[in-house]
Structure 1
Amino acid sequence: MPRPVRPFYDDIYQSSSLRPDIGPAIPYVGPTRPPLAGPYAFSRIPRPRVNIPRIFFSDMKKVPAPTWIFVNASTGYDGRTSIRKTVPDSITSWIISGFSLDPVYGLGVMEAPLTLKVFRPFFISINIPYSVVKGESVGVQVLVHNYMNRDVSAEVTLDNSDNQFYFTQDENEIESKLELFRTERVVVKSNSVNSVTFLITPKQLGTVDLHAKAASRQAGDEIIKPLLVKPPGQPQYLNTAAFLDLRSGRSDSVNITAKFPAKRVPESDFVKVSVVADILGPTLSNLDKLIELPTGCGEQNMINFVPDIIVLEYLQTSRQLTEPIREKAVKFLETGYQRELSYKHDDGSFSAFGKSDSSGSTWLTAFVVRAFISAKPHIYIDKGMWR
């Protein structure tokens, strides 16, 4: 911490260069910059606002956040202050760093950050797969961690008060039972981990919250973990696109009717609506994947040649073109151009198999000439091709 400033007139008088010829000393506030710094160093940094800390909290059990607390506080004359906060319910380590600003000594930074370890001697965790299919059984493994200096006998309970799943006694049991909870007792040695497994069968689609508890005379803990239940069968996707034109007004609307197959799995319907302010928006994330090497006959070669031109021009116009993508696209265009020349007839026309065909194709020739004109800004094209 920087040394405090003693705003006493005697000290100020001895240290200040602003001394009047006669009369008492003039109260002088030290410059807001470190010694020997530039004339404007830290001159515009305001002092911390007293008793108005800025704190950002996050639900650490659901989404761990990179920052737990950011506090702006003022110290006393001794340069010390205390901040009391309750650590989040998460077993992890926090890195603490800080800096300070002083009117005279300027900026002070910690030499090395400190580490705060958050630990619990008794807690539980749930080990489950990411997702299961509705109707199949899954084992919910509840791990009991005991880091106390004594053995613990705990009762582990899996709650089902919302009737979201069935309990299954074992893997060979055909009929499942609907119970509100099931409890198992487990003995956990000191500084060790033991587990209990509950076999369940989800009865509904979507997210099922698994609520497990562990209780003993010495300690207890509980946890809630979601389990994704997917419908059986193979997913089918139906896409309906609509164009909204805002050039003539500030709003536009369109009606879209969702149609589902008649033999679909019950309760598996899902509708997703997305709006993109770009006609090519859905392909922007993987637009470079559309650049492929032209191969095949005269017609197949142009199937990949033309998309390479369109992607290259779009990325260049939207200022998203990178040098590796440009080099790849230009190389493929040059290869496709040379390959297409092998399917050219003596009269200047093109066909699918070149001179192996009796005559050229009018449609393919027009398409090739148009594509070559579009590719001319990017690669070398012989001017005599369309003369």
Structure 2
Amino acid sequence: MVYNYQTSGSGQLPMETVRTFFPETWIWQLTEVGDSGSAQVPVTVPDTITSWETEAFCLSSKGLGLAPPAQLTVFQPFFLELSLPYSIIRGEIFELKATVFNYLSKCIMVKVTPAPSLDYTLKASSDDQYSSCLCANGRKTFKWILTPSVLGLLNITVSAEAEASQTVCDNEIVSVPERGRIDTVTRSLLVQAEGTEKTETYSWLLCPKSDSLSEEVDLTLPKDVIEGSARSSVSVIGDILGRALRNLDGLLQMPYGCGEQNMAILSPNIYILQYLENTE
């Protein structure tokens, strides 16, 4: 998590937590433990408010070692959570939801503000209330109507701030936490083009006889192509089986059913093994 400090003539301004890193899985790495059998690995905890379960195993010339699972909880008493789908279609009506959680021991007055952007427009929802009392162990959801104006990946940023107020919430004056008063979350949303996707692939087997070799191709787009949706890519692989090797997980199969089915399904596994052995 990133903490920003700002100062002014009157002293220190509220500390802001900026959270942008939300992986589905975390820590995939190899570490040498040496003769001691242990090692320290410094890592940065992701910004997701959740519990992580870690597992580790060790390989050596004398055998295999397994470590018991351990849990690590990432938590802060006041935080914001955005509810986003993986992707939407351009032109769809999408309701952006931001939920604020208060695990502090006292009530707070929370204000939620989305950051302006040229990539999308936000329209206030029906309730149109973006400041609210939030007492201990409470949660509150705020909503907007989001309309994207571009295709591709766009970032959505929303901030929640615990404000100073004389408002009485649940028979008590709201408090302001000393640290972590502002929580800012940035999440990504993929905006896809409307219509039906169509892909055309061109392949060449090139055998250069000198240092350079060129190949030209004309890319003709359909007349009814949706504006802004066309894209192209080029990949060069120096191995006739290179493309297949980049997708081995799709070629390897698990056995099931009767013997005849297994013989047909498992034959690629044998070819893959022979190729890897011959090429080391």
TMscore range, shorter length: 0.5 to 0.7
- Aligned AA (2:224): K
Q: Report Cα offsets for 1:89-148 as digits up to 9, x if no partner.
A: 443457699xxxxxxxxxxx9x97875543200111100111111122201110101111
Q: Which residue of 196, 211, 220 corresponds with 2:142?
A: 196
C-alpha distance in 2, partners of 1:66/1:60? 17
Aligned to 1:238: 200
Question: TM-score by structure 1 length?
Answer: 0.45
Aligned CA distance change for structure 1 residues 255 and 62 (closer, same or farther; 3 Å):
farther
Deviation at 1:282, TM superposition (A): 5.1
- Aligned AA (2:138): S
Q: Report Cα offsets for 1:249-293 as digits up to 9, x if no partner.
A: 56533223322112111110111223342268459654579xxxx
Aligned to 1:61: 21
C-alpha distance in 2, partners of 1:319/1:116? 39
Aligned to 1:263: 224
Q: Which residue of 110, 114, 131 corresponds with 2:87?
A: 131
Does structure 2 conserve the Cα–Cα contact (< 8 Å) formed by 1:134 and 1:230? yes
Aligned CA distance change for structure 1 residues 315 and 215 (closer, same or farther; 3 Å):
closer
Q: Report matched runs for 1:345-364 at 5 Å.
A: none
C-alpha distance in 1, partners of 2:240/2:124? 54
Does structure 2 conserve the Cα–Cα contact (< 8 Å) formed by 1:209 and 1:226? yes
C-alpha distance in 2, partners of 1:184/1:312? 59
Q: Report Cα offsets for 1:327-372 as digits up to 9, x if no partner.
A: xxxxxxxxxxxxxxxxxxxxxxxxxxxxxxxxxxxxxxxxxxxxxx
More helix as a share of residues: 1
More strand as a share of residues: 2
Does structure 2 conserve the Cα–Cα contact (< 8 Å) formed by 1:94 and 1:115? yes
C-alpha distance in 2, partners of 1:136/1:253? 43
Aligned to 1:272: 233
Does residue 226 (structure 1) correspond to residue 226 (structure 2)? The answer is no
Q: Report Cα offsets for 1:302-333 as digits up to 9, x if no partner.
A: xxxxxx99x99876555369xxxxxxxxxxxx
Does residue 168 (structure 1) correspond to residue 150 (structure 2)? The answer is no
C-alpha distance in 2, partners of 1:259/1:83? 52
Aligned to 2:273: 319
Aligned CA distance change for structure 1 residues 168 and 86 (closer, same or farther; 3 Å):
closer
C-alpha distance in 1, partners of 2:42/2:153? 37
Bigger relative CO (Cα 8 Å, ≥ 6 apart)? 2
Aligned CA distance change for structure 1 residues 157 and 231 (closer, same or farther; 3 Å):
same
What secondary structure, in the 3-state scheme, does the structure 2 residue paired with 1:265 have?
Answer: coil
- Aligned AA (2:273): R
Aligned CA distance change for structure 1 residues 255 and 154 (closer, same or farther; 3 Å):
same
Question: Greater Rg, structure 1 or structure 2?
Answer: 1
Deviation at 1:167, TM superposition (A): 2.2
Does structure 2 conserve the Cα–Cα contact (< 8 Å) formed by 1:156 and 1:183? no
- Aligned AA (1:184): Y
C-alpha distance in 2, partners of 1:232/1:133? 6
- Aligned AA (1:245): C
What secondary structure, in the 3-state scheme, does the structure 2 residue paired with 1:211 have?
Answer: strand
What secondary structure, in the 3-state scheme, does the structure 1 residue paired with 2:130 have?
Answer: strand
Does residue 214 (structure 1) correspond to residue 160 (structure 2)? The answer is yes
C-alpha distance in 2, partners of 1:233/1:267? 12
What secondary structure, in the 3-state scheme, does the structure 2 residue paired with 1:319 have?
Answer: helix
Q: Report matched runs for 1:1-387 at 5 Å.
A: 61-63=21-23, 65-66=26-27, 89-91=47-49, 92-93=51-52, 116-160=72-116, 162-170=117-125, 184-216=130-162, 217-218=176-177, 219-246=181-208, 248-249=209-210, 251-276=212-237, 277-278=239-240, 281=243, 285=248, 286-287=250-251, 316-319=270-273
Question: Runs of 5+ in structure 2 lacking a partner?
Answer: 1-18, 34-39, 57-64, 163-175, 254-262, 276-280
- Aligned AA (1:137): I
C-alpha distance in 2, partners of 1:157/1:272? 38
Does structure 1 conserve the Cα–Cα contact (< 8 Å) formed by 2:22 and 2:46? no
